[in-house]
Amino acid sequence: MKPPRVAFLSPAYPHEQRGFTRGLATVGATVIGVGDGPLGGVDEATRRFLSGWIQCPNLFDEAAAADFLVPRLAAAGVDRLITNWEPLILLAATLRERLGLPGMSRDVALGFRDKQVMKERLAAAGLRVPYSHRVRTATEARAAAEQVGFPLILKPIAGAGSADTFRCDDAASFEAALAASRHVAEASVEEFVDGEEFTYDTVCAGGVVQFDSVAQYFPRPLTFRTDEWISPAQIVYANPHTQPDLQQGIALGKDVLRVLGMDEGFTHMEWYRKADGEVVFGEVACRNGGGHFVDMHNWANDIDLFVEWARAVCWGDVHCRPSRTYHVGMVFKRAQGRGRIQKIVGRQSLHDLCGPWLLADELLPIGHPRRDWKQTLLSDGFVAMRHPDLGKLHVMMDQAIERLAIYAG
């Protein structure tokens, strides 16, 4: 079979897309990068995997970008068009339809991108989703809030992750959230589901889940997005299929992908488990999870999902055999104080405790400006560790949460 010529939208941003660009080249694809800046702005390590570059000045204006790109992509002779970045999912689908290329249609992509359409399609299939309403004005939002009741969630229809997402416990907090969401064109007012939050991540090919994984957030993202001094943490479980308490979530995830028509590529879904055991869908995207989730899946299973994803989208197959050996934990740290990083406490003792199980120590160096914790999950750096024993992994993570500290000033 002839190696595909792949147009890859945004091959270097967000950061993990560089791994996917490498994956495409590794499986034999000719990769044509598409971005809104010049090729010179792409890091050298990623440029060597690119065979061509198209700079699109209006990349985030779907209609204008499609008109600009269609003749150029046709001239480049591409036979696959892919993106893993949320804001470009619908553009990629539109381009595929206009160029007659295989892959996800715009209607299917809409079910993954528009959160209200997503929930309506799943509810119609009998799946448990949060009760919600689409709103475009403050008046519509207030009317929806009366129907949903407090507590509730206000979030963008086409958002990514937990950005611009607010929990509202009463009318006052709801009005504050409305004021902070004036820039959002369409929003969802939905039921707040009180429970533990998990993910279900997959790589699919031919409409079949070829690889899957379950992770859990500590605490749930809505909480760590609102409290500056929390150290957000997450665990990818070694083999979720051996944990009885995760089976309902896995079954829900597979039903979601079937109903929404997932064919090939990565998916990242969030779901909740309530105190009474009920499992409720959160949201799903047809892309990889951010926050180093792909790295965590790789560490847990001794595989390279950047390459296996590329096999799925280029050849319709996945060759990996996940080891299901390790539980993997990641803890994100936020500096105390303002300004530049001055001191890191507890680093050596964490290294001593973890030993060979420490996978990464990516804390910001001394002298580096502190990041805006509201704008990035990565905060001021992270540490990652793995272990075949879940209890021992928790001990290492607890040390990173409680005794590892960064100070700025």
The answer to whether 296 touches 199, Cβ cutoff 8 Å, is no
pTM: 0.91
Calpha distance 88→286 (Å, rounded): 11
Q: Give the start-to-end residue ranges of the domains of the chain.
A: 5-103, 131-191, 194-325, 326-409
When the candidates are 3.40.190.10, 1.10.3720.10, 3.30.470.20, 1.10.10.10, the CATH number that belongs to 194-325 is: 3.30.470.20
Instruction: Supply 406's token pair.
Output: 């960064």
Q: How long, in residues, is the chain?
A: 409
Q: What is the mean pLDDT of residues 122-145?
A: 93
CA distances from 146 to 33, 166, 181, 195 (A): 47, 17, 18, 22
Q: Beta strands of 206-334 (E only): which ranges?
A: 208-218, 233-236, 265-274, 279-285, 327-332
User: How far apart (Å, rounded) are the C-alpha atoms in residues 51 and 72?
Assistant: 15
Q: Which of 165, 237, 228, 153 is nearest to 198 (CA)?
A: 237
Tell me the pLDDT tens digit for each residue of 41-52. 999 999 999 999
Torsion angle in degrees (nearest 10) through CA of 401, 402, 403, 408: 70
Contact status, residue 134 vs residue 116, Cβ threshold 8 Å: yes
Q: Distance of alpha carbon 45 from its chain centroid, rounded? A: 23
Angle at 177 between CA 173 and CA 180, to 5 degrees: 140
Q: Indicate the burial class of 75 (C-beta count within 10 angstroms; 0-12, 13-18, 19 or more).
A: exposed
Over residues 142-191, the pLDDT tens digits come to 999 999 899 999 988 876 656 788 989 999 999 999 999 989 989 989 98
What's the rounded mean pLDDT across residues 371-382?
88
The domain defined by 131-191 folds into Dna Ligase; domain 1 (3.30.1490)
Chain-centre distance for alpha carbon 29:
24
Do residues 162 and 222 lie in contact, with contact meaning Cβ atoms separated by under 8 Å?
yes
CATH fold label, 5-103: Rossmann fold (3.40.50)
Can you give the pLDDT at residue 227?
A: 82
Position 161 scores a pLDDT of 56
Residue 244: is the preceding peptide bond cis (ω within 30°)? Answer: no
Check whether 354 has a pLDDT greater than 60: yes
Q: How far is CA 352 from CA 28, 349, 399, 400, in A?
A: 42, 5, 11, 12
Those residues with Cβ within 8 angstroms of residue 208's Cβ, 6 or more apart along the chain or in another chain: none
Q: What is the pLDDT of residue 159?
A: 67
Contact 7, 34 (CB under 8 A): yes
Cα separations in angstroms, 375 against 50, 337, 372: 30, 17, 6
Residue 16: pLDDT band with limits 50, 70, 90 = very high
